[in-house]
């Protein structure tokens, strides 16, 4: 199983601004010594050793994650603007087929769907799964005039919609899949994908509370012993207090949740559009410190960034 991040921002896309680029350049220049620029090799070494928040970026596209099974079957989780990047930077699967799973229908999770170039190829087939009824109508609404110049009818006719029930196992990309309702306005669903004794969990847009730690059968099936958990960690603690009931989680609560369910690797996800790369890096450092301080040194904590690929 391979997991690829195509979009990791929450709420709306957040491209780098000129001021943020200038800040990165300034931070890099301040670190340069004479030894760092004496030849091409030293310059490359200097760049390679810069902190990730300076030399790279978490990315600005809204949520889209791709999972590829061991049989090379492709599953897409959510259709934020990262979906456009998927079609631009990747190749079609050998079977010309995608299974698509939607966590919910807030705009940042569907706004990339009209820009999914592969969906306009008549040879491509799509099976679209969600717990929401009439999903075809919900996706087509944003493609009607005057909001978009091309309707959903222009896409492949090999498009089928399936309504799935929470806590019921179904097949996606040849993998066992199950969804679980999370705490978010309007409803949002986490998905667990299992293959060859490996479990990947995608849990975006949720406000973790005490009920999420209860060891019911459904929770155990979805979260317990996950190899990788991608979890909404949009807020700092301060923001979480001022934005209660907005449906998002502070990074420290995400760490508590992952540790409680014996998760191996936690990827902080759904980054706030107001947070730049420096702040996201500080959140990652704080999350790692908190995991160690709270006695969960075995929990590996990472920042979800565009282009990152995980192999299970």
Per-residue HEC secondary structure of the chain comes to CEEEEEECECCCCCCCCHHHHHHHHHHHHHHCCHHHHCCHHHHHHHHHCCCHHHHCCCCCCCCEEEEECCCCCEEEECCCCHHHHHHHHCCCCCCCEEEEECCCCCHHHCCCHHHCHHHHCCCCEEEEEECCCCHHHHHHHCCCCCCCCCCHHHCCCCEEEEECCCCCCEEECCEEEEEEEECCCCCEEEEEEEECCEEEEEECCCCCCHHHHCCCHHHHHHHCCCCEEEEECCECHHHHHHCCCCCCCEHHHHHHHHHHCCCCEEEEECECCCCCHHHHHHHHHHHHHHHHHCCCCCCEEEECCCCCEEEC
pLDDT at 276: 95
User: pLDDT band for position 242 (50/70/90)?
Assistant: confident
pLDDT at 248: 87
pLDDT for position 103? 97
Confidence class for position 144, pLDDT limits 50, 70, 90? very high
Each residue's pLDDT tens digit, 251-303? 999 999 999 999 999 999 999 999 999 999 999 999 999 999 999 989 999 99
* pLDDT single digits (tens) 187-209: 999 999 999 999 999 999 999 88
């Amino acid at each position: 199983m391979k997991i690829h991040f195509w979009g990791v921002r929450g709420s709306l896309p957040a491209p780098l601004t000129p001021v943020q680029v200038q800040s990165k350049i300034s931070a890099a220049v301040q670190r340069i010594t004479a030894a760092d620029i004496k030849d091409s090799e030293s310059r490359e070494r200097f760049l390679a050793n810069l902190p990730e928040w300076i030399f790279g970026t978490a990315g600005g596209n809204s949520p889209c994650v791709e999972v590829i099974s061991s049989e090379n079957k492709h599953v897409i989780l959510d259709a934020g603007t990262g979906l456009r990047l998927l079609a631009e930077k990747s190749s079609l699967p050998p079977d010309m087929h995608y299974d698509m799973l939607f966590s919910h229908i807030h705009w940042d999770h569907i706004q990339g769907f009209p820009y999914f170039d592969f969906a306009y190829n008549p040879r491509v087939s799509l099976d679209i799964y969600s717990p929401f009824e009439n999903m075809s109508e919900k996706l087509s609404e944003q493609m009607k005039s005057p909001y978009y110049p091309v309707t959903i009818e222009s896409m492949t006719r090999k498009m089928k919609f399936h309504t799935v029930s929470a806590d019921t196992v179904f097949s996606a990309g040849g993998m066992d899949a199950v969804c679980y309702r999370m705490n978010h306005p309007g409803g949002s669903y986490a998905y667990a994908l299992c293959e060859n004794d490996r479990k990947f969990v995608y849990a975006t847009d949720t406000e973790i509370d005490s009920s999420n730690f209860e060891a019911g059968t459904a929770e155990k099936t979805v979260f317990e012993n996950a190899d990788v958990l991608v979890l909404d960690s949009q807020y700092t603690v301060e923001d979480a207090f001022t934005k209660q009931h907005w449906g998002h989680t502070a990074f420290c609560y995400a760490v508590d949740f992952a540790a409680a369910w014996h998760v191996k690797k936690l990827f902080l996800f759904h980054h706030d559009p107001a947070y730049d790369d420096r702040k996201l890096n500080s959140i990652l450092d704080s999350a790692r410190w908190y995991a160690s301080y709270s006695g969960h040194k075995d929990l590996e904590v990472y920042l979800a960034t565009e282009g990152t690929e995980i192999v299970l």
